Chain A
Amino acid sequence: MAELEVRNLTKRFGKTVAVDDLSFSVEAGRVTGFLGPNGAGKTTTMRALLGLVRPSEGEALVEGQRPVAMKEPLRTVGAALEATAFHPSRSGRNHLGVLAASAGIPRSRVEEVLEMVELSGAANRRVKGYSLGMRQRLALAAALLGDPRILILDEPANGLDPQGMRWLRDLLRDQAAAGRTVLVSSHLLSEVAQTAEQLVVIRNGRLVAEASLDEFTTGPASQMRVRASDPERLATALQGKGAGIDRDGDGALLVRDLNGEEIGDLALASGVAIYELAPLHSSLEERFLEVTGEEPVG
């Protein structure tokens, strides 16, 4: 059973369809990156998994249950949704204290998580005076408070400095290595690429890819670069087998939809010598733009 499962989830706000028949699942023990351009429906999906938003259709399940049925919510799922959701005149320590009280978590755990996110020094200051990075850390501390089996983090890297980013990556990796489930959203692929093993990519509320990072980068749209003695004859033969052909400036063929073996066999059969045959992996960024059809953001 997947720890998190989204099944045919549709969410409409008035006439706007934020999430459209979306299905995917998230397994324990690895970091899953949840990607998509801004406005793709990531936050709404995460909120549905947390029981904050009611699905119009379909369901969002946590450990096989609807989120409102969770026995000990904070010990099951920890979430950091946005770095601005604090009462500005409450201190960081008290924010966590309020949350701890409602879940019956001991006060000592508040100090522990403050230590973990390196906010102990500023814990008595009112959140009003926190930088974005500090708020982000406080949101993470709140997520970690119940020592949960599942972490759901919405754009947790926003506002973190490079040192903070590294700290976050280590944290996510450690959590996943400890067998926990980690779902991290981002609109920046590069951020997620360094920690995520699994990717869920959505666009306009629909799933466009659910794959491991490796599968994603070497996905079906990747090409083979072929230099041959008679490119035109080879191209005709390849097209006859249904391959898509592009040409680069040097007279080499860029072949889609056939693998190296098939190209080699065809070349032999049509009497063309092959000088060079190399797989071209798209970069992660290219793949992301390819599947989401968007300009990079940020």
Chain B
Amino acid sequence: MRLVRSELLKLRTVRTTWTMLGIGLLAEALFAGLYVGLVSLDDVGPIDEVLTGTGLLMLMLLVLGVLAITTEFRHGTASTTFLAEPRRYPVMAAKLAAVLLMGVVAGLAYVVVNGGLALPLFESREGSLPASGDIVSVYAGVVASFALLGTFGLGVGAIVRNQVGAIIAAFAFFFVLSSLPELLPGDIGDYFPAQAVGSLHGLPEEGLSQVMGGLVLAGWSLGLVLVGTLLIRHRDLNE
């Protein structure tokens, strides 16, 4: 518990966290307002409408997850961290918990902004709002995806360690790999991270159910964290 508090404090006490989440939320508000308020509603499905502008926040969480571990190596604070707790597993577990919590908090903030802005606008333009049960499950999916994307970043960061390299690697999973499934036979593509996020958000065009999408994304994220933790266990800290 002490370690989790310490990790949360690390996230809270650097400006980057607040700046990135702030920009993400601001962009969300802007997109929701502009897009839902102005653009023709017939082109896309109602769920896509509601989710407008989520992308930037998702990227922010991915990057913040990466930073949660790479800054420790970049600035040499990992030594200090492991002085307070020389065992590596508990430290990584605490980082995981802190990043998950950050994702949930960011997700709830998203729900407040999106629910307070996009939904009323949508309704005022007489769009056919999805059933309220659907909206709740979409929002739940968004919150879960934020938490899992942070975790995904943490895992990639633990494996790559170099900050820039890790951010590029994490992006590659979502931007480069996400276009690959079209070339693949069958429904293998549904199990790629970007597609799993779509499923988790309840987008109808994705192949998996929401729960399945969540499980697949969780599998990716936790799997990466596990690999990263095993690597860090044997790494010497010389910087």
Report yes or no: B15 in contact with A89, Cβ–Cβ below 8 A.
yes
Report yes or no: A90 in contact with B13, Cβ–Cβ below 8 A.
yes
Answer whether A68 and B238 are a contact pair too, CB < 8 Å, given A85-B76, A85-B77, A89-B15. no
A79 at the interface (CB under 8 A from B): yes
Report yes or no: B80 in contact with A89, Cβ–Cβ below 8 A.
no
Q: Of A101-109, A168-176, A209-217, which stretch is located at the interface?
A: A101-109
**Chain A residues whose CB sits within 8 angstroms of the CB of B125 once the complex forms:** none
Report yes or no: A85 in contact with B80, Cβ–Cβ below 8 A.
yes
Q: How many A-B residue pairs have CB under 8 A?
A: 89
Report yes or no: B84 in contact with A87, Cβ–Cβ below 8 A.
no
Among the listed A53, A73, A86, which residue makes an inter-chain contact with B77, where contact means beta carbons less than 8 Å apart?
A: A86
**Chain A residues whose CB sits within 8 angstroms of the CB of B15 once the complex forms:** 89
A36 at the interface (CB under 8 A from B): no
**Chain B residues whose CB sits within 8 angstroms of the CB of A84 once the complex forms:** 75-76
Shortest Cβ distance from A104 into B: residue? B2
Shortest Cβ distance from B236 into A: residue? A53
B6 at the interface (CB under 8 A from A): yes
B230 to A: closest C-beta gap in Å: 15
A91 at the interface (CB under 8 A from B): yes
A132 at the interface (CB under 8 A from B): no
Q: Of A44-52, A198-206, A226-234, which stretch is located at the interface?
A: A44-52
How far does the alpha carbon of A74 sit from the alpha carbon of B85 in the complex, in Å?
8
**Chain A residues whose CB sits within 8 angstroms of the CB of B83 once the complex forms:** 50, 52, 73-74, 77, 79
**Chain A residues whose CB sits within 8 angstroms of the CB of B86 once the complex forms:** 50-52, 67-68, 70, 73
How far does the alpha carbon of A82 sit from the alpha carbon of B86 in the complex, in Å?
18
Report yes or no: B3 in contact with A102, Cβ–Cβ below 8 A.
yes
Report yes or no: A68 in contact with B87, Cβ–Cβ below 8 A.
yes
Answer whether A81 and B79 are a contact pair too, CB < 8 Å, given A68-B87, A101-B9. yes
Q: How large is the interface on B (under 10, 10 to 19, 20 to 34, 35 or more residues)?
A: 20 to 34
- Complex interface bits, B83-123 against A, C-beta within 8 A gives 1, otherwise 0: 11111000000000000000000000000000000000000
A99 at the interface (CB under 8 A from B): yes
Answer whether A103 and B2 are a contact pair too, CB < 8 Å, given A50-B86, A86-B75, A89-B14. yes
How far does the alpha carbon of A98 sit from the alpha carbon of B81 in the complex, in Å?
9
**Chain A residues whose CB sits within 8 angstroms of the CB of B16 once the complex forms:** 89
A33 at the interface (CB under 8 A from B): no
B93 to A: closest C-beta gap in Å: 13
B131 at the interface (CB under 8 A from A): no
**Residue among B16, B79, B80, B238 with max Cβ neighbours from chain A (10 Å):** B80
**Chain A residues whose CB sits within 8 angstroms of the CB of B5 once the complex forms:** 101-102
B229 to A: closest C-beta gap in Å: 15
B237 at the interface (CB under 8 A from A): yes
Report yes or no: B71 in contact with A102, Cβ–Cβ below 8 A.
no
A94 at the interface (CB under 8 A from B): yes
Report yes or no: A53 in contact with B237, Cβ–Cβ below 8 A.
yes
How far does the alpha carbon of A102 sit from the alpha carbon of B238 in the complex, in Å?
21
- Complex interface bits, B53-76 against A, C-beta within 8 A gives 1, otherwise 0: 000000000000000000100011
A113 at the interface (CB under 8 A from B): no
B102 to A: closest C-beta gap in Å: 15
A142 at the interface (CB under 8 A from B): yes
Shortest Cβ distance from B11 into A: residue? A98
Report 6 cross-chain contacts, Cβ distance below 8 Å, ordered by A residue. A51-B86, A54-B236, A87-B14, A88-B75, A90-B10, A94-B13
Which positions in A face B, CB cutoff 8 Å? 13, 44, 47, 50-54, 67-68, 70, 73-74, 77, 79, 81-82, 84-91, 94, 97-99, 101-104, 142
